[in-house]
């Protein structure tokens, strides 16, 4: 079952992924995803989750800030804490590099019945919930 899910997932991602427009590393995409998914995230959290040094994480973040994809915000309660946030441009880059192409997906889904489309959404919802 796991092999089947992985095969289908990679087929879907390969066939329905948007065309790559900008060069971005996998590490950068993962950092942007972490910032999107966590409300309060700092460089040390990124280092811990990626199993890299804090200096390496800091360099990655510095690059993403220079691209205008992230910005830093110092905590009002504790000035030592600096939180990371996505900019609108960062959100757009993340969407292009992690989501499926909406037009391609629309075409694929149009070939299915309403019942089949509902089953797909339900399956993705269930898998998303248990993965958290």
Q: Could you read off the pLDDT tens digit of each residue along the chain, which spans 132 residues? A: 999 999 999 999 999 988 877 789 999 999 999 999 998 999 999 999 999 999 999 999 999 999 999 999 998 889 899 999 999 999 999 999 999 999 999 999 999 999 999 999 999 999 999 998
The enclosing domain of 57 has a CATH number of: 1.10.10.10
Domain span including residue 91: 22-99
**What is the total count of domains within the chain?**
2
Cα distance between residue 94 and residue 29, in whole Å: 7
**Is 83 found in the same domain as 113?**
no
**Is 67 found in the same domain as 34?**
yes
**Is 95 found in the same domain as 75?**
yes
Chain position carrying tokens 């909406």: 102
Q: How much is the pTM?
A: 0.82
Cα distance between residue 127 and residue 121, in whole Å: 10
Nearest by Cα to 13 from 101, 122, 132, 109: 101
């Amino acid at each position: 079952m796991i092999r089947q899910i992985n095969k289908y997932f990679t087929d879907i991602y390969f066939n329905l992924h948007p065309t790559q427009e900008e060069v971005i590393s996998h590490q950068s995409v993962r950092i942007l995803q972490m910032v999107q998914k966590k409300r309060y995230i700092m460089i040390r959290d990124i280092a811990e989750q990626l199993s890299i040094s804090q200096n390496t994480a800091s360099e990655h973040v510095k690059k993403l800030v220079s691209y205008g994809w992230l910005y830093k915000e110092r905590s009002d309660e504790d000035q030592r804490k600096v939180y990371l946030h996505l900019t609108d441009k960062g959100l757009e880059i993340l969407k292009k590099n992690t989501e499926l192409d909406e037009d391609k997906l629309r075409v694929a889904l149009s070939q299915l019945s309403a019942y089949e489309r509902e089953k797909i959404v339900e399956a993705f919802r269930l898998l998303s919930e248990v993965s958290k």
